[in-house]
Structure 1
Amino acid sequence: MKLLYSNILPLGTTEGQDTFIDCFHEQIAKSDRVDIAVGYVSRAALEELDLLVEKHNVSSICLTIGMYFIEGMPEGSYNCALKLNRKWQEAGIGEIRIVKAFKYHGKLYCFYHDGKPFSAIIGSANLGAIKLEASNRRQYEISSFTDDSAECRKIAEFIERLKEDNCSSNIDHIKGMSLIREVNTSLSGIDTVTQLPPTAVQLYEKHKTGVSFVLPLKVPAYDERHMDDGKHYTKSNINVCYAAPRSKRKSRDWYETQLTVSKEITRAPGYPEKNKAFFVVTDDGYWFKAHTTSDGNKQFSAVGDELILGRWIKGRLAAAGLVTPVNDTQADTDRKGMITKEMLREYGCDSLVLSKTDQKALDEDGSELDVWMLSFETMALNE
């Protein structure tokens, strides 16, 4: 057995001491198969593992994750793991599994060559240790390395038992696991937006009336992103940022959004009056002023900043790991940043819900405005 350290001052590594991350890189480079069983993962670590599997031509990989089925899994890590699992399965090299039977908090890394385990790491390091970030850069881990054949065989046997169906399932088959919403930071620092504590959101939830409207998000399927089929996906709704720029020198901001509402909804009793401002409380605790405008009262938007609604909707999808914000929309010719039906399906919601409360709040000029709730809620994996 050999100890593996973290290189963090004042306990920096000394001569002859190896770090977990260096040992992991050294062992995976020698492997044609890797089995990993840990409690927790991170998006960055999942992406790093995939890169290493490709770099070293690993032909068999299985990652088993142990704590999330009972505790709930961060949505960003879940969506990244789901994509990676499908990629590995389509390539025929492996899978990602979730432990269901209990909370598994162990950390095991087993390396194979020619069908035999030749080394293993056991210890405190979760998968996040292979990709240091701000959140774990000062987190000290200590593990042990072994290349003893008997010890490696016992570790391999344990991981195989953990992979059996009575303990775990492929992540694509998991039902009933809650997803933990990632924090949307896209609205941070916006002067006209306030963040409310969860207790305030819960209070407004209790004051909702029976007046409620479902606002569908009109987006293309993945294969329709470049099609001009009359639906004008690039000219309206949440993908308006891909329309022709207003200036020849500057692309539209990726967060620019125009939420267009159908006449069937705008003409329904109780829908907000045209050009009459109201306050919005979002289901994740943001407060801003909104209104309905344009011909037929069809545009629903925040007051004073056309990016706010886009920052709220697209920021949620980006935080969930389903899309990456685009710096230059005109340069995004592949439209990787375009919101699609597949993204909304993976998020678990393809509409907003606007619900009136019986509450009012004072505007800057002292006038009373109605308070509405706006929801874009994901669902538990129970379908």
Structure 2
Amino acid sequence: MMIRLLFISLTLATALTAQPVCATPLYVGEVAIERQPGSAGDRLAALDQVLARLTGRFEGSLVRELGLGPEDLDELVLSQQLAERSVVTPSGESEEELRLEVEFDEPTINELLRRNQLPRWGRERSAVLLWMAIEDEAGARFVESPHLEYLVLEHARRVGLDVIRPLSDALDLAEVTLADVRGGFLGSAEASAQRYGASVIAMLDLRRRGDDDDAVLWNARWRWRVEGQDAGLDRSGEDVEALIRAGLQRLSSQLAGRYGVLDTDGAPTRWLIGVDGIVDEVQYAEVLRHLDNLSVVENVRVVSAVEREVVFEVLARGERIERYLTMGGLLVPRQGRTGNRLDFRLAR
């Protein structure tokens, strides 16, 4: 098997192309515009969106903080185009909105972040399974509003989160009840998260306060679980969209703080990654693709393959490589770090 695997490693190294972990193009900003072709201010707004998505910093403007202006756009912008997007109104109607889509040059943006000592959160973006409940004059129920669904997916795109909404079929509802979501009982959704391929569980409980004679006030209770650690955000306000945006931004900031890497000028670190439980070419290809996809990894090669264990040599930047290797649940740690050697087993 060792000879066979080593042969496959040579062919797959050139035949396999990395599949992005995040569905959102990280270096593309998209802003609504009132007229063609879009101004320098519109392009700078798109740049702000990209910089916030990569760093997890949503308070204030990084464009302003870094002193960037229209004169910097020629170096940063790779391409731009106009696009019409469907926007769902509060009434549930669909309207077309003109937007400017700007793609920025990845190496130049990364160098900008490195030069200003800002962390960069790359492609490693775990899918988020989001359960939502709402209580208003019609009572308490799971969210089925097209407008709210649109707001969630739109703001998830802006902050770079891959949000999955459950189908709420019989299997889902047998495991997760309305009371679970309203109470923020994240453990009830563990099984459904596995089915949907999500590593992060989130719940949002929206409750309307006030009557016809008073201003409508909404209470939003966000709860999420990232690698066994629970956190959340409680916020109130009149604007539901602002409450959704605030929760998704906070979750994105937490993930960026966990997985962001500060690029340095130093040489990458050499790691030996042992993976046990690989029994065929398909599993081998899956592990290789997983390692090669990580944005902190610069190079991967096979060192040895004996029976069910394959040892990879990985050149990577950053000191928290374990967090990246275990993302997605493909690899499970077998034991602690021994020098620069890490051992895992294949989860499936």
- Report if TM-score (shorter chain) is over 0.5: no
Scaled by the length of structure 2, the TM-score of the pair is 0.20
Please state which structure has a larger fraction of its residues in helix.
Answer: 2
Please state which structure has a larger fraction of its residues in strand.
Answer: 2
Scaled by the length of structure 1, the TM-score of the pair is 0.19
